[in-house]
Amino acid sequence: MTRRRRRSVLILVCGAVLAAALGLVLTAMRDTIVFFRSPTEVAGQKVAPGTRFRLGGLVEAGSLKREADGKVAFAVTDTGSTVQVRYRGLLPDLFREGQGVVTEGVLEPDGIFRADTVLAKHDETYMPREVADALKAQGRWQEGAGKPGQDTSGKNSSAQGSAEPVSRTAVQ
């Protein structure tokens, strides 16, 4: 083989190896990527049942119902639309009606969001960046509601921006 042909073969082999590695990484990540959606986005878009995503908004006042077996039902709203949520387990201590919440789970065929993770905001001025960005996009953001993604000390409390997919293992 000539020097030029050897170099061309080496470049093709390296390109094939890189393409295979990229394919494996993307396949592995496909099951760990979770997108954030607001209740208005869930109501407006036809989200396929069984789709895993994060749902964020405010816990609607008067919607919290606790059952003896540990099941909890509540509604998440962004003042435009409301999604019913069912959760089984212990809720965070700061979870209450009228507070910001981010839940992770799947949308069932009956339109109820079955959450397996519930995250509550940690103080009065904190709002998850995803929730704040969704409210801004809908024109429902109130400027006095605090800085999105920051706690009262001004430190950044959010690991991701809202436009990017969120890994299940990234933010807890």
Known binding residues for heme: 122, 126
Amino acid at 171: V
**Binding-site residues from annotation:** 122, 126
Specify the DSSP class assigned to residue 93: T
In whole angstroms, give the CA distance from residue 78 to residue 144.
16
Contact call for residues 79 and 128 (beta carbons, < 8 A): no
Contact call for residues 103 and 117 (beta carbons, < 8 A): yes
Amino acid at 11: I
In whole angstroms, give the CA distance from residue 42 to residue 68.
29
